[in-house]
Amino acid sequence: MKRRDFLITTLLSSGLIIRDQLNTQAAAIPDFSNSPFTLGVASGDPLSDRVIIWTRLAPDPLKGGGMPNKRVPVQWKVAKDPKMTEIVRQGTVMATPALGHSVHVDVTQLDANQVYWYQFQVGDYQSAIARTKTLPNPNTSVDKVSFAFASCQDWQNGYYVAHKHLAREDLDFVVFLGDYIYERSGHKKPVRQHQGKDCLTLEDYRNRYAQYKRDPNLQAAHHRFPWIMTWDDHEVDNNYANLNPEDNQSLEAFQARRKAAYQAYYEHTPIRVAFQPGEDITLYRSFDLGNLGKLMVLDTRQYRSDQPCGDGAKPRCQEVKSETINLLGTQQEQWLQSQLSNSSASWNIIAQQIMMAQYDVDPRPNQGIFNMDQWDGYLTYSTR
């Protein structure tokens, strides 16, 4: 036991201090002028006995959230019915300024392959009631798993009609393969206009996520299914590779930008990771779908070598055959090999961000124009 934990436990048992005084740090319910649940709710990373439920308090979502600089207690509950009468789990979690007043609750001791509903409350304000589902027990006989995948939801290029229809499907979960937001300031003639300039700071990214998450069709898809998510490049910077930006930024400036982008990603997604501000996020992970499948989620951005041949779409140069280039990073590659070697599932499913099959983007014969940002640019690595 750590010294601090020992002292707290001793004082608590002696009746000298109250736990809430240690943990809440003057937490209180703000006097909201409107609902703090403008960004909806979401669930994700389901397992057979647990699921993450998420929300972020943001009464003024496009101006940093509009929350005071203090901790706020958020009540949550999970039920077996959509009217929230048969409660199976409930509790209180603190929404903190350090994480943009977002909350991630890992709801445990749930039944396998079971539909649940959940809701948050702050003061007199209640969130929408949303649906989620746990996965089957590992190695259990399973005949069918239904899921959809989505990606590249550029706010500017159109409305989220696909999400509207997605919310009407009968699925176990949704896999999102990256580009949840786009970091650019905007096109010349967009269908919908991004607010603000290119995202560089934590507040920039928070506001961009808030703009996306206010979309009612996107919220509807989150409210219907748990999501299993990973990122691609636009959550940070187009075509970035590890600590190599596309934009003309110094290493120090891009490190700060990437940290801000990673934190904003955590604050707005229902992922099960241990995270502290300023830290990287380990996103590669796997999910057992009974004995029918194993879903392995990859991160092809955070650890990759810089794109060979100067990036872009072009003929391949000798660099694509180099044994030193790497798309997954050594540790993630070894993890993936171990997952595949040890899997006894009927189907091994790899969820990743970029085109894996070789694809010549020029239809003329013998042109050989390939996208260096995809697996085509890492030819020797991708075929070994």
Measured between alpha carbons, how far is 194 from 186 in angstroms, rounded to an integer?
6
Tokens of 35: 């609902």
349 has which bridge partners?
295
For the segment(s) 31-282, the CATH number from 2.60.40.380, 3.40.50.720, 3.40.190.10, 3.40.462.40 is: 2.60.40.380
SS3 track for 100-166: CCEEEEEECCCCCCCEEEEEEEECCEECCCEEEECCCCCCCCCCCCCEEEECCCCHHHCCCHHHHHH
Domain ranges of the chain: 1-27, 31-282
pTM of the shown model:
0.92
CB 42 within 8 A of CB 269: yes
CB 208 within 8 A of CB 153: no
Measured between alpha carbons, how far is 34 from 36 in angstroms, rounded to an integer?
6
- Residue 383 confidence (pLDDT): 57
Residue reference for tokens 């990759």 = 304
Distances (CA, A) of 310 to 243, 371, 372, 376: 15, 11, 8, 13
Return the DSSP state at 82.
Answer: T
- Residue 26 confidence (pLDDT): 54
Return the DSSP state at 375.
Answer: G
- Residue 364 confidence (pLDDT): 81
CB 326 within 8 A of CB 303: yes
Q: Give Dmax (Cα) for the chain.
A: 82
CA 312 to chain centre: 27
3-state secondary structure of 380: helix
Measured between alpha carbons, how far is 202 from 268 in angstroms, rounded to an integer?
12
pLDDT in tens, the chain (384 residues): 455 444 444 444 344 333 444 444 457 899 998 999 999 999 999 999 999 999 999 999 999 999 999 999 999 999 999 999 999 999 999 999 999 999 999 999 999 999 999 999 999 999 999 999 999 999 899 999 999 999 999 999 999 999 999 999 999 999 999 999 999 997 788 999 999 999 999 999 999 999 999 999 999 999 999 999 999 999 999 999 999 999 889 999 999 999 999 999 999 999 999 899 999 999 999 999 999 999 999 999 999 999 999 899 999 999 998 888 999 999 999 999 999 999 999 999 999 999 999 899 887 877 789 999 999 999 876 655
- Residue 195 confidence (pLDDT): 93
